[in-house]
Chain A
Protein backbone atom coordinates (compact mmCIF):
# COMPACT_ATOMS: atom_id res chain seq x y z
CA UNK A 1 0.00 0.00 0.00
CA UNK A 2 1.41 3.44 -0.91
CA UNK A 3 1.76 6.05 1.75
CA UNK A 4 -0.60 8.41 -0.03
CA UNK A 5 -3.34 5.87 -0.28
CA UNK A 6 -2.86 4.87 3.31
CA UNK A 7 -3.16 8.51 4.32
CA UNK A 8 -6.29 8.90 2.26
CA UNK A 9 -7.82 5.85 3.82
CA UNK A 10 -7.06 7.15 7.25
CA UNK A 11 -8.78 10.40 6.37
CA UNK A 12 -11.80 8.48 5.16
CA UNK A 13 -11.65 6.40 8.29
CA UNK A 14 -11.74 9.48 10.45
CA UNK A 15 -14.68 10.95 8.63
CA UNK A 16 -16.43 7.64 8.53
CA UNK A 17 -15.85 7.10 12.21
CA UNK A 18 -17.03 10.57 13.05
CA UNK A 19 -20.14 10.02 10.98
CA UNK A 20 -20.66 6.66 12.60
CA UNK A 21 -20.23 8.09 16.06
CA UNK A 22 -22.72 10.88 15.40
CA UNK A 23 -25.00 8.27 13.99
CA UNK A 24 -24.66 6.16 17.12
CA UNK A 25 -25.73 8.95 19.37
CA UNK A 26 -28.62 9.93 17.13
CA UNK A 27 -29.92 6.49 16.26
CA UNK A 28 -28.64 4.47 19.15
CA UNK A 29 -31.71 2.30 19.14
CA UNK A 30 -32.34 0.89 15.74
CA UNK A 31 -34.15 -2.38 15.46
CA UNK A 32 -33.24 -5.84 14.36
CA UNK A 33 -36.32 -6.06 12.16
CA UNK A 34 -37.10 -3.20 9.86
CA UNK A 35 -40.58 -2.36 8.65
CA UNK A 36 -42.20 -5.48 10.01
CA UNK A 37 -44.41 -4.24 12.82
CA UNK A 38 -47.45 -5.42 10.89
CA UNK A 39 -46.83 -9.09 11.69
CA UNK A 40 -45.88 -10.91 14.85
CA UNK A 41 -42.38 -12.37 14.59
CA UNK A 42 -40.76 -15.02 16.74
CA UNK A 43 -37.29 -16.45 16.17
CA UNK A 44 -35.72 -19.10 18.35
CA UNK A 45 -32.03 -19.08 18.98
CA UNK A 46 -29.96 -22.19 18.60
CA UNK A 47 -26.36 -22.11 19.60
CA UNK A 48 -23.38 -24.27 20.40
CA UNK A 49 -23.15 -27.74 18.97
CA UNK A 50 -26.73 -27.74 17.84
CA UNK A 51 -26.18 -24.50 15.94
CA UNK A 52 -29.28 -23.20 14.46
CA UNK A 53 -32.54 -24.23 12.95
CA UNK A 54 -36.16 -23.09 13.40
CA UNK A 55 -37.59 -19.70 12.64
CA UNK A 56 -39.33 -19.69 9.47
CA UNK A 57 -39.98 -16.01 9.31
CA UNK A 58 -37.27 -13.70 8.15
CA UNK A 59 -36.77 -10.68 5.98
CA UNK A 60 -34.36 -10.13 3.14
CA UNK A 61 -31.09 -8.69 4.43
CA UNK A 62 -31.19 -4.88 4.28
CA UNK A 63 -28.02 -4.59 2.22
CA UNK A 64 -25.63 -6.78 0.30
CA UNK A 65 -23.01 -6.12 2.97
CA UNK A 66 -25.09 -7.93 5.55
CA UNK A 67 -25.83 -10.89 3.30
CA UNK A 68 -24.20 -14.22 4.00
CA UNK A 69 -21.44 -15.28 1.63
CA UNK A 70 -19.83 -18.67 2.08
CA UNK A 71 -16.10 -18.91 1.47
CA UNK A 72 -15.39 -21.63 -1.06
CA UNK A 73 -12.31 -22.52 -3.08
CA UNK A 74 -13.94 -20.60 -5.93
CA UNK A 75 -14.26 -17.46 -3.87
CA UNK A 76 -17.23 -16.18 -1.85
CA UNK A 77 -20.65 -17.42 -2.93
CA UNK A 78 -23.95 -15.85 -1.96
CA UNK A 79 -26.26 -17.94 0.20
CA UNK A 80 -29.57 -17.75 -1.62
CA UNK A 81 -32.62 -18.90 0.35
CA UNK A 82 -35.93 -19.83 -1.21
CA UNK A 83 -39.08 -18.92 0.65
CA UNK A 84 -41.72 -21.60 0.77
CA UNK A 85 -43.69 -21.27 -2.51
CA UNK A 86 -46.85 -22.46 -0.75
CA UNK A 87 -46.96 -19.40 1.50
CA UNK A 88 -48.42 -16.09 0.50
CA UNK A 89 -45.82 -13.39 0.96
CA UNK A 90 -46.30 -9.95 2.30
CA UNK A 91 -44.55 -7.58 -0.10
CA UNK A 92 -41.29 -6.35 1.40
CA UNK A 93 -41.15 -9.23 3.86
CA UNK A 94 -40.92 -10.78 6.27
CA UNK A 95 -40.91 -14.05 4.43
CA UNK A 96 -42.15 -17.32 5.71
CA UNK A 97 -39.52 -19.82 4.74
CA UNK A 98 -41.82 -22.71 5.58
CA UNK A 99 -40.87 -25.79 7.49
CA UNK A 100 -38.04 -26.91 5.26
CA UNK A 101 -36.51 -23.89 3.58
CA UNK A 102 -34.18 -24.61 0.72
CA UNK A 103 -30.98 -22.76 0.02
CA UNK A 104 -28.23 -22.82 -2.53
CA UNK A 105 -24.93 -21.10 -3.17
CA UNK A 106 -24.75 -18.82 -6.20
CA UNK A 107 -21.58 -19.66 -8.10
CA UNK A 108 -21.61 -17.19 -11.00
CA UNK A 109 -20.10 -14.73 -11.54
CA UNK A 110 -16.99 -15.66 -9.60
CA UNK A 111 -15.99 -13.07 -7.03
CA UNK A 112 -12.33 -12.22 -7.20
CA UNK A 113 -11.33 -10.73 -3.87
CA UNK A 114 -8.10 -9.37 -5.28
CA UNK A 115 -10.04 -7.17 -7.71
CA UNK A 116 -11.08 -3.63 -6.85
CA UNK A 117 -13.83 -2.96 -4.33
CA UNK A 118 -16.08 -1.81 -7.12
CA UNK A 119 -15.59 -4.99 -9.14
CA UNK A 120 -16.22 -7.11 -6.06
CA UNK A 121 -19.39 -5.20 -5.29
CA UNK A 122 -20.56 -5.52 -8.89
CA UNK A 123 -20.00 -9.29 -8.83
CA UNK A 124 -21.84 -9.52 -5.55
CA UNK A 125 -24.78 -7.59 -6.96
CA UNK A 126 -24.77 -9.90 -9.99
CA UNK A 127 -24.91 -12.92 -7.71
CA UNK A 128 -27.83 -11.28 -5.93
CA UNK A 129 -29.63 -10.68 -9.24
CA UNK A 130 -29.10 -14.31 -10.12
CA UNK A 131 -30.54 -15.30 -6.72
CA UNK A 132 -33.59 -13.05 -7.22
CA UNK A 133 -34.03 -14.39 -10.75
CA UNK A 134 -34.32 -17.87 -9.26
CA UNK A 135 -36.93 -16.64 -6.80
CA UNK A 136 -34.60 -16.53 -3.81
CA UNK A 137 -33.60 -13.88 -1.29
CA UNK A 138 -30.40 -13.02 0.57
CA UNK A 139 -30.63 -13.21 4.33
CA UNK A 140 -28.71 -11.67 7.19
CA UNK A 141 -26.36 -13.64 9.36
CA UNK A 142 -28.80 -13.55 12.28
CA UNK A 143 -31.55 -15.06 10.20
CA UNK A 144 -28.98 -17.50 8.87
CA UNK A 145 -27.98 -18.82 12.27
CA UNK A 146 -31.61 -19.26 13.03
CA UNK A 147 -32.46 -21.42 10.00
CA UNK A 148 -29.10 -22.98 9.31
CA UNK A 149 -29.48 -26.70 9.63
CA UNK A 150 -32.83 -26.73 7.87
CA UNK A 151 -31.09 -25.50 4.75
CA UNK A 152 -28.58 -28.31 4.90
CA UNK A 153 -25.69 -25.87 4.51
CA UNK A 154 -23.76 -25.46 7.71
CA UNK A 155 -21.10 -23.08 8.87
CA UNK A 156 -17.98 -25.00 9.81
CA UNK A 157 -17.07 -24.38 13.39
CA UNK A 158 -13.81 -22.48 13.14
CA UNK A 159 -11.67 -24.85 15.09
Chain B
Protein backbone atom coordinates (compact mmCIF):
# COMPACT_ATOMS: atom_id res chain seq x y z
CA UNK B 1 0.00 0.00 0.00
CA UNK B 2 1.19 3.49 -0.86
CA UNK B 3 1.25 6.59 1.28
CA UNK B 4 -1.43 9.03 0.18
CA UNK B 5 -0.98 12.41 1.85
CA UNK B 6 -2.84 15.71 1.40
CA UNK B 7 -0.64 18.46 -0.18
CA UNK B 8 0.01 20.39 3.07
CA UNK B 9 1.35 17.23 4.72
CA UNK B 10 3.55 16.60 1.72
CA UNK B 11 5.08 20.08 2.16
CA UNK B 12 6.00 19.17 5.75
CA UNK B 13 7.27 15.68 4.93
CA UNK B 14 9.44 16.86 2.03
CA UNK B 15 10.88 19.62 4.21
CA UNK B 16 11.81 17.13 6.92
CA UNK B 17 13.22 14.37 4.73
CA UNK B 18 14.74 16.18 1.79
CA UNK B 19 16.35 19.54 2.64
CA UNK B 20 17.46 19.89 -0.98
CA UNK B 21 13.88 20.56 -2.04
CA UNK B 22 13.63 23.52 0.34
CA UNK B 23 15.54 25.73 -2.09
CA UNK B 24 12.56 25.42 -4.42
CA UNK B 25 10.00 26.41 -1.77
CA UNK B 26 8.13 29.65 -2.46
CA UNK B 27 7.14 32.06 0.33
CA UNK B 28 3.73 30.53 0.85
CA UNK B 29 5.21 26.99 1.05
CA UNK B 30 7.68 28.21 3.67
CA UNK B 31 4.98 29.94 5.65
CA UNK B 32 2.84 26.81 5.75
CA UNK B 33 5.86 24.59 6.49
CA UNK B 34 6.86 26.69 9.50
CA UNK B 35 3.34 26.73 10.91
CA UNK B 36 2.95 22.99 10.62
CA UNK B 37 6.44 22.10 11.84
CA UNK B 38 5.79 24.21 14.94
CA UNK B 39 2.48 22.43 15.50
CA UNK B 40 4.18 19.03 15.71
CA UNK B 41 7.18 20.25 17.76
CA UNK B 42 9.57 19.99 14.81
CA UNK B 43 10.49 23.65 14.24
CA UNK B 44 13.87 23.19 15.96
CA UNK B 45 14.49 20.01 13.98
CA UNK B 46 13.77 21.86 10.74
CA UNK B 47 16.15 24.64 11.77
CA UNK B 48 18.85 22.09 12.49
CA UNK B 49 18.35 20.41 9.08
CA UNK B 50 18.63 23.72 7.22
CA UNK B 51 21.81 24.59 9.16
CA UNK B 52 23.36 21.19 8.48
CA UNK B 53 22.47 21.28 4.82
CA UNK B 54 24.19 24.67 4.52
CA UNK B 55 21.29 26.55 2.96
CA UNK B 56 20.57 28.85 5.90
CA UNK B 57 21.52 31.96 3.92
CA UNK B 58 19.07 31.13 1.15
CA UNK B 59 16.10 30.97 3.48
CA UNK B 60 13.75 34.01 3.49
CA UNK B 61 14.62 36.29 6.47
CA UNK B 62 11.14 35.98 7.98
CA UNK B 63 11.69 32.22 8.00
CA UNK B 64 15.21 32.15 9.39
CA UNK B 65 14.21 34.30 12.37
CA UNK B 66 11.49 31.78 13.19
CA UNK B 67 13.88 28.85 12.75
CA UNK B 68 16.30 30.62 15.10
CA UNK B 69 13.52 31.06 17.66
CA UNK B 70 12.72 27.36 17.38
CA UNK B 71 16.36 26.39 17.86
CA UNK B 72 16.75 28.68 20.89
CA UNK B 73 13.66 27.12 22.48
CA UNK B 74 14.88 23.56 21.86
CA UNK B 75 18.31 24.38 23.23
CA UNK B 76 16.81 25.94 26.37
CA UNK B 77 14.52 23.00 27.05
CA UNK B 78 17.37 20.54 26.57
CA UNK B 79 19.56 22.51 28.97
CA UNK B 80 16.73 22.47 31.54
CA UNK B 81 16.36 18.73 31.04
CA UNK B 82 20.09 18.10 31.52
CA UNK B 83 20.15 20.24 34.65
CA UNK B 84 17.08 18.57 36.11
CA UNK B 85 18.75 15.19 35.60
CA UNK B 86 21.92 16.57 37.20
CA UNK B 87 19.94 17.73 40.24
CA UNK B 88 17.98 14.47 40.53
CA UNK B 89 21.24 12.51 40.54
CA UNK B 90 22.64 15.01 43.09
CA UNK B 91 19.62 14.51 45.35
CA UNK B 92 19.90 10.72 45.09
CA UNK B 93 23.68 10.66 45.35
CA UNK B 94 23.81 8.72 48.60
CA UNK B 95 21.12 6.26 47.58
CA UNK B 96 22.31 3.08 45.91
CA UNK B 97 20.01 2.41 42.98
CA UNK B 98 20.06 2.31 39.22
CA UNK B 99 18.13 4.82 37.15
CA UNK B 100 17.49 4.67 33.44
CA UNK B 101 16.97 7.84 31.40
CA UNK B 102 14.18 7.64 28.85
CA UNK B 103 13.08 9.51 25.72
CA UNK B 104 14.60 12.90 24.80
CA UNK B 105 17.39 13.04 27.36
CA UNK B 106 18.32 9.43 26.55
CA UNK B 107 18.57 10.24 22.84
CA UNK B 108 20.97 13.10 23.66
CA UNK B 109 23.05 10.92 25.97
CA UNK B 110 23.20 8.20 23.30
CA UNK B 111 24.30 10.86 20.78
CA UNK B 112 21.57 9.96 18.29
CA UNK B 113 21.97 12.25 15.24
CA UNK B 114 19.57 15.22 15.31
CA UNK B 115 18.81 14.64 19.01
CA UNK B 116 19.98 18.21 19.59
CA UNK B 117 17.03 19.45 17.52
CA UNK B 118 14.44 17.56 19.56
CA UNK B 119 11.94 19.48 21.65
CA UNK B 120 11.85 17.72 25.02
CA UNK B 121 9.74 19.19 27.76
CA UNK B 122 9.68 16.66 30.59
CA UNK B 123 12.42 14.54 32.12
CA UNK B 124 11.47 10.85 31.99
CA UNK B 125 13.20 8.30 34.22
CA UNK B 126 12.73 4.58 34.87
CA UNK B 127 13.47 3.19 38.34
CA UNK B 128 13.00 -0.14 40.14
CA UNK B 129 9.53 -0.38 41.62
CA UNK B 130 11.05 -1.48 44.93
CA UNK B 131 13.03 1.80 45.12
CA UNK B 132 10.14 3.99 44.04
CA UNK B 133 8.91 5.03 47.49
CA UNK B 134 12.41 5.86 48.72
CA UNK B 135 13.25 7.86 45.62
CA UNK B 136 9.99 9.76 45.77
CA UNK B 137 10.46 10.72 49.41
CA UNK B 138 14.14 11.64 48.96
CA UNK B 139 13.18 13.99 46.13
CA UNK B 140 10.35 15.51 48.14
CA UNK B 141 12.73 16.16 51.03
CA UNK B 142 15.12 17.92 48.64
CA UNK B 143 12.46 20.30 47.33
CA UNK B 144 10.51 18.49 44.61
CA UNK B 145 6.73 18.69 44.87
CA UNK B 146 3.75 17.01 43.28
CA UNK B 147 1.47 19.29 41.35
CA UNK B 148 -1.93 19.52 43.03
CA UNK B 149 -4.03 16.57 41.83
CA UNK B 150 -7.64 15.58 42.26
CA UNK B 151 -8.31 12.44 44.30
CA UNK B 152 -9.30 10.65 41.10
CA UNK B 153 -6.09 11.57 39.29
CA UNK B 154 -4.03 10.55 42.31
CA UNK B 155 -5.80 7.19 42.36
CA UNK B 156 -5.35 6.81 38.60
CA UNK B 157 -1.60 7.37 38.85
CA UNK B 158 -1.06 5.23 41.92
CA UNK B 159 -3.16 2.23 40.94
CA UNK B 160 -3.30 2.04 37.17
CA UNK B 161 -0.45 4.07 35.74
CA UNK B 162 3.11 3.09 34.92
CA UNK B 163 4.42 6.30 36.49
CA UNK B 164 3.89 8.24 39.72
CA UNK B 165 2.32 11.71 39.72
CA UNK B 166 4.82 14.15 38.15
CA UNK B 167 7.31 15.95 40.41
CA UNK B 168 8.50 19.52 39.91
CA UNK B 169 11.21 21.19 41.98
CA UNK B 170 9.95 24.26 43.83
CA UNK B 171 12.58 26.49 42.23
CA UNK B 172 12.58 25.12 38.70
CA UNK B 173 9.99 24.32 36.09
CA UNK B 174 10.92 21.00 34.48
CA UNK B 175 8.53 18.16 35.23
CA UNK B 176 10.10 14.86 36.32
CA UNK B 177 8.10 11.78 35.32
CA UNK B 178 9.24 8.71 37.23
CA UNK B 179 8.23 5.42 35.66
CA UNK B 180 8.49 1.96 37.19
CA UNK B 181 7.56 0.19 33.97
CA UNK B 182 6.91 1.23 30.39
CA UNK B 183 3.24 0.32 29.93
CA UNK B 184 0.25 1.25 32.12
CA UNK B 185 -0.69 -1.54 34.53
CA UNK B 186 -4.22 -1.70 33.12
CA UNK B 187 -2.88 -2.75 29.73
CA UNK B 188 -3.33 -6.37 28.65
CA UNK B 189 0.30 -6.36 27.54
CA UNK B 190 2.84 -6.45 30.38
CA UNK B 191 6.57 -5.87 30.46
CA UNK B 192 8.93 -7.27 33.06
CA UNK B 193 11.11 -4.24 33.89
CA UNK B 194 13.82 -6.53 35.25
CA UNK B 195 14.65 -7.59 31.68
CA UNK B 196 15.14 -3.92 30.78
CA UNK B 197 17.41 -3.22 33.77
CA UNK B 198 19.49 -6.34 33.05
CA UNK B 199 20.18 -5.14 29.51
CA UNK B 200 20.68 -1.45 30.41
CA UNK B 201 23.91 0.29 29.43
CA UNK B 202 25.93 2.67 31.63
CA UNK B 203 26.76 6.19 30.42
CA UNK B 204 30.35 7.39 30.58
CA UNK B 205 31.14 9.62 33.59
CA UNK B 206 27.65 9.31 35.03
CA UNK B 207 25.61 7.06 37.26
CA UNK B 208 22.70 7.19 34.84
CA UNK B 209 21.93 4.28 32.51
CA UNK B 210 20.25 3.92 29.13
CA UNK B 211 18.03 1.21 27.71
CA UNK B 212 19.86 -1.12 25.34
CA UNK B 213 19.47 -0.02 21.69
CA UNK B 214 16.74 -2.54 20.90
CA UNK B 215 14.85 -1.76 24.10
CA UNK B 216 15.10 1.95 23.32
CA UNK B 217 13.54 1.36 19.92
CA UNK B 218 10.84 -0.88 21.40
CA UNK B 219 10.03 1.69 24.07
CA UNK B 220 9.69 4.37 21.42
CA UNK B 221 7.24 2.19 19.45
CA UNK B 222 5.34 1.24 22.61
CA UNK B 223 5.00 4.84 23.61
CA UNK B 224 3.65 5.82 20.22
CA UNK B 225 1.33 2.90 19.52
CA UNK B 226 0.33 1.83 23.04
CA UNK B 227 0.48 4.88 25.31
CA UNK B 228 -0.17 7.90 23.09
CA UNK B 229 -3.19 9.09 21.21
CA UNK B 230 -1.17 9.68 18.00
CA UNK B 231 -2.60 13.13 17.26
CA UNK B 232 0.29 15.36 16.11
CA UNK B 233 2.81 12.73 17.26
CA UNK B 234 4.86 12.89 14.07
CA UNK B 235 7.93 13.82 16.14
CA UNK B 236 7.77 10.51 17.97
CA UNK B 237 7.63 8.55 14.73
CA UNK B 238 10.63 10.55 13.54
CA UNK B 239 12.42 9.60 16.80
CA UNK B 240 11.76 5.96 15.97
CA UNK B 241 13.14 6.43 12.46
CA UNK B 242 16.26 8.21 13.77
CA UNK B 243 16.92 5.46 16.32
CA UNK B 244 16.55 2.63 13.84
CA UNK B 245 18.72 4.28 11.19
CA UNK B 246 21.45 5.04 13.75
CA UNK B 247 21.52 1.64 15.48
CA UNK B 248 21.12 -0.45 12.32
CA UNK B 249 24.13 1.26 10.76
CA UNK B 250 26.30 0.58 13.81
CA UNK B 251 25.15 -2.91 14.75
CA UNK B 252 25.14 -5.59 12.02
CA UNK B 253 22.60 -7.83 13.75
CA UNK B 254 20.39 -4.99 14.93
CA UNK B 255 17.24 -6.08 13.06
CA UNK B 256 17.52 -9.69 14.23
CA UNK B 257 17.98 -8.56 17.83
CA UNK B 258 15.09 -6.15 17.57
CA UNK B 259 12.69 -8.78 16.27
CA UNK B 260 13.85 -11.42 18.82
CA UNK B 261 13.48 -8.98 21.68
CA UNK B 262 10.03 -7.83 20.51
CA UNK B 263 8.89 -11.46 20.38
CA UNK B 264 10.42 -12.15 23.79
CA UNK B 265 8.65 -9.15 25.37
CA UNK B 266 5.41 -10.08 23.57
CA UNK B 267 5.30 -6.65 21.94
CA UNK B 268 5.62 -7.77 18.35
CA UNK B 269 2.35 -6.24 17.16
CA UNK B 270 3.25 -2.83 18.53
CA UNK B 271 6.72 -3.04 17.03
CA UNK B 272 5.16 -4.11 13.74
CA UNK B 273 3.24 -0.84 13.58
CA UNK B 274 6.37 1.09 14.45
CA UNK B 275 8.40 -0.50 11.68
CA UNK B 276 5.54 -0.33 9.20
CA UNK B 277 4.74 3.36 9.60
CA UNK B 278 8.35 4.49 9.98
CA UNK B 279 9.10 2.79 6.69
CA UNK B 280 5.91 4.04 5.03
CA UNK B 281 6.41 7.70 6.02
CA UNK B 282 10.17 8.16 6.40
CA UNK B 283 11.48 5.37 4.16
CA UNK B 284 13.35 3.68 7.01
CA UNK B 285 15.40 0.83 5.50
CA UNK B 286 13.58 -1.98 7.32
CA UNK B 287 14.54 -5.35 5.78
CA UNK B 288 11.47 -7.11 4.34
CA UNK B 289 12.12 -10.32 6.26
CA UNK B 290 12.18 -8.49 9.59
CA UNK B 291 8.44 -7.82 9.54
CA UNK B 292 7.65 -11.42 8.64
CA UNK B 293 9.57 -12.76 11.63
CA UNK B 294 7.41 -10.86 14.13
CA UNK B 295 5.15 -13.34 15.94
CA UNK B 296 2.05 -11.17 16.05
CA UNK B 297 0.96 -8.97 13.17
CA UNK B 298 -2.34 -7.17 12.53
CA UNK B 299 -4.80 -8.80 10.11
CA UNK B 300 -5.26 -7.39 6.62
CA UNK B 301 -8.43 -5.45 7.35
CA UNK B 302 -7.01 -3.98 10.53
CA UNK B 303 -3.81 -2.96 8.80
CA UNK B 304 -5.80 -1.39 5.97
CA UNK B 305 -7.76 0.69 8.48
CA UNK B 306 -4.64 1.72 10.39
CA UNK B 307 -2.90 2.56 7.11
CA UNK B 308 -5.67 5.03 6.32
CA UNK B 309 -5.98 6.53 9.80
CA UNK B 310 -2.53 6.72 11.38
CA UNK B 311 -0.89 9.21 8.97
CA UNK B 312 -3.95 11.49 9.15
CA UNK B 313 -3.61 11.55 12.92
CA UNK B 314 0.19 11.90 13.05
CA UNK B 315 0.43 14.82 10.64
CA UNK B 316 -0.84 18.24 11.73
CA UNK B 317 -4.08 19.59 10.37
CA UNK B 318 -3.87 22.45 7.88
CA UNK B 319 -3.94 25.43 10.30
CA UNK B 320 -6.54 27.32 8.25
CA UNK B 321 -8.52 24.44 6.71
CA UNK B 322 -8.91 21.51 9.13
CA UNK B 323 -10.18 18.36 7.37
CA UNK B 324 -13.12 16.43 8.77
CA UNK B 325 -11.51 13.11 7.82
CA UNK B 326 -8.41 13.98 9.86
CA UNK B 327 -10.55 14.97 12.85
CA UNK B 328 -12.37 11.66 12.61
CA UNK B 329 -9.09 9.76 12.35
CA UNK B 330 -7.88 11.50 15.50
CA UNK B 331 -11.07 10.64 17.38
CA UNK B 332 -10.79 6.99 16.39
CA UNK B 333 -7.12 6.85 17.37
CA UNK B 334 -7.98 8.47 20.69
CA UNK B 335 -10.57 5.80 21.42
CA UNK B 336 -8.22 3.06 20.26
CA UNK B 337 -5.44 4.28 22.55
CA UNK B 338 -7.78 4.13 25.51
CA UNK B 339 -9.26 0.76 24.58
CA UNK B 340 -5.84 -0.89 24.47
CA UNK B 341 -4.77 0.89 27.63
CA UNK B 342 -7.57 -0.22 29.92
CA UNK B 343 -10.50 -2.63 30.10
CA UNK B 344 -13.99 -1.17 29.61
CA UNK B 345 -14.95 -1.26 33.28
CA UNK B 346 -12.14 1.21 34.00
CA UNK B 347 -12.26 3.04 30.69
CA UNK B 348 -15.91 4.13 30.72
CA UNK B 349 -15.84 5.80 34.16
CA UNK B 350 -12.46 7.29 33.20
CA UNK B 351 -13.76 8.96 30.03
CA UNK B 352 -16.94 10.12 31.77
CA UNK B 353 -14.90 11.65 34.58
CA UNK B 354 -12.60 13.40 32.11
CA UNK B 355 -15.43 14.89 30.06
CA UNK B 356 -17.38 15.98 33.13
CA UNK B 357 -14.31 17.70 34.49
CA UNK B 358 -13.82 19.49 31.19
CA UNK B 359 -17.37 20.83 31.24
CA UNK B 360 -17.13 21.87 34.86
CA UNK B 361 -13.82 23.58 34.19
CA UNK B 362 -15.25 25.45 31.24
CA UNK B 363 -18.33 26.70 33.06
CA UNK B 364 -16.26 27.73 36.06
CA UNK B 365 -13.99 29.72 33.78
CA UNK B 366 -16.81 31.43 31.96
CA UNK B 367 -18.43 32.39 35.26
CA UNK B 368 -15.31 34.04 36.64
Contacts and interface: CB of A to CB of B under 8 A. Distances in A.
Contacts of A150: 170
A50 interface: yes
Contacts of A54: 171
Contact of A44 (B170, B171, B173): B171
9 contacts: A44-B171, A46-B171, A49-B173, A50-B172, A50-B173, A53-B170, A53-B171, A54-B171, A150-B170
Contacts of B171: 44, 46, 53-54
A46 B173 CA distance: 11
A82 B170 CA distance: 19
Interface in B168-196: 170-173
Residue of B170, B171, B172, B173 with most partner-chain A CB within 10 A = B171
Contacts of B173: 49-50
A114 to B, nearest CB: 29
Contacts of A53: 170-171
A54 B171 CA distance: 6
Interface string A143-159: 00000001000000000
A97 to B, nearest CB: 14
Query: Which are the 6 A-B pairs with shortest beta-carbon distances?
Result: A54-B171, A50-B173, A53-B171, A53-B170, A44-B171, A150-B170
A148 B320 CA distance: 40
Nearest to B169: A53
Contacts of A49: 173
Interface in A103-140: none
A45 to B, nearest CB: 11
A54 to B, nearest CB: 5
A81 to B, nearest CB: 17
Contacts of B170: 53, 150
A46 B171 CA distance: 9
A53 B170 CA distance: 8
Nearest to B172: A50
A44 B170 CA distance: 13
A61 to B, nearest CB: 23
Interface in A25-81: 44, 46, 49-50, 53-54
Given A44-B171, A53-B170, 7 more contacts: A46-B171, A49-B173, A50-B172, A50-B173, A53-B171, A54-B171, A150-B170
B91 to A, nearest CB: 15
